[in-house]
Structure 1
């Protein structure tokens, strides 16, 4: 069964690349890193009931498993190339298992084709439903976007809009009229099929002083940039980019909370020296994702948020925590 699954995945995700010397079918893949390029590598695991709700369409899961990893490459300014997939499947009848694998491969391959990503190996096993994807990409030496380059005076930007995915998850099971259901469908699409900002990451090379993708929540992820760079940040809640779908489903305060700490956005948050801000905004607008200035880098530590009324907020949470305090040892 394991080898039939691997064969099925290989057939459904085939992607020809000259730098893949040997792909699926041996003990390891043989890959050629282009001359003059560094290799960027990232890995993420998605677990049913934690990273995607039970009942999510397999094609959406396959898409998201790759998307969250491509988002990490985007945050590094790397061009995607290869992927590995480790798939843990629950015990189920053969027909149901094949339908699940076919759906996963469909979503995975749809996104892989968009970015010319070749699946070059992986593993399958039985257990609680989970997927681990490792991705590899290329970046010229010294040009990778990093978290540790932000400096006081830089402006803070984000691509796209924030809060949609978290709101879509929160309202997944509640009743709604037809108009609100249409808005929620848009929010759920952001949850299930995030768009990795690969082109934006490439455009930011040599321009952004620091960059990170927003996966755990804006406040949490921007705080990582601040810690790595030894600076602080101030965010203006009135400037947060919020979609009409989000504002149509909740009030302004709730929308702000989703945007600040909801997570699962997979947008890029980055710092840019003021002199380069205009050209960056113009280029990202041409790419279709846009870039919104939401604050600035300051001396100090941590992230502060100025509310719409001009007063400093005290957010009750900053983002997703995989290991909350209640599970920690005393």
Structure 2
């Protein structure tokens, strides 16, 4: 089994016809035709075993997640996915592993009519890089900059589930036995949120022209909302009691753990956005129709940074603010 055999497995299992792909996998480069009047949104993410996903993650889940984290970035820009490039590094030429990986990748790609148009395979420690390209009408992209004091801060979905799912895999956790014996379906739900996040592409499209700023929650709510605030030269205040949490998270963890996961756990891939108060009803109605839900969690204020307040209005000091590469 050689490199080109692996490439053929990936090509066959991820085939997706698009008229704007003039030449896809099989040449030195792809030939693509963006639509007139649109800007090209491009993003890339790298996932490394033991850093971004646990050792032993099922290849189907890794294939899904490697694409999902990129689609989430396009969602935060209000862009429609179109094409992807895949660079896969494997310890060995394992055909069955590649088949399963490609099946997970293809399952999500087909749901978004996304074509895999090229990439690379190489030998080394397990890791995957995906580049995704999408379209957004010229001048209509959502950006991190744009929030203004008085805007409402909202998030889609629920927060903290993926970090809680990761905790469920930690056999060294003092609560490991309790987590393994959790009520039926709760632990499995949290693990699914870790391994197969739902990129909020439709929500991002709906927020074009409504949200003043947007970002996806990948490193943790505090960290990512902090990036949004820094881009706009503003601050934010978050009401801890309003953070949306799943029934699984509420069932398995205490108040302190839930709050830590929701504020700084990361890997949620929900959208955090600001919206002027007079557009709030419109945003709520649009996202409700999509079924992803939206929760008002705070407000944009003068100043900088993100502050978290409890039900008494007192400022909390979370021990962590999110994931950061190369942190000491």
Aligned 8 A contact 2:216 2:269 in 1: yes
Where do 1:1-330 residues align within 5 Å? 1-91=2-92, 97-172=94-169, 173=171, 174-175=176-177, 176=179, 178-180=181-183, 182-325=185-328
Deviation string for 1:251-285 (max 9, x for gaps)?
12210110000000000000000000011111101
TM-score after normalising by structure 2? 0.96
Give deviations 1:105-124, integer Å, cap 9, x for gaps: 01000000000000000000
- CA distance in structure 1 between the aligned counterparts of 2:146 and 2:184, rounded to whole angstroms: 42
CA distance in 1, matches of 2:180, 2:58: 23
Deviation sequence 1:209-236 (CA, Å, 0-9, x none): 0000000000000000000000000000
Q: Aligned partners of 1:56 and 1:309: how far apart in 2?
A: 42
CA RMSD of superposed structures (Å): 0.9
- Please report how far the alpha carbon of residue 308 of structure 1 lies from its aligned counterpart in structure 2 after TM superposition: 3.2
Unaligned runs of 5+ in 1: 326-330
Runs of at least 5 residues in structure 2 that lack an aligned partner in the other structure: none
Secondary structure of the structure 2 residue equivalent to 1:34: coil
Alignment length, in residue pairs? 321
Flag as ranges the 4+ runs of structure 1 deviating above 4 A. none
Deviates more, 1:243-252 or 1:301-310: 301-310
1:321 Cα deviation (Å)? 1.1
8 Å CA contact 2:182–2:252 kept in 1: the answer is no
CA drift of 1:179 comes to 3.8
Q: State the distance in 1 between where 2:61 and 2:310 align.
A: 35
Q: Secondary structure at the match of 1:180?
A: coil
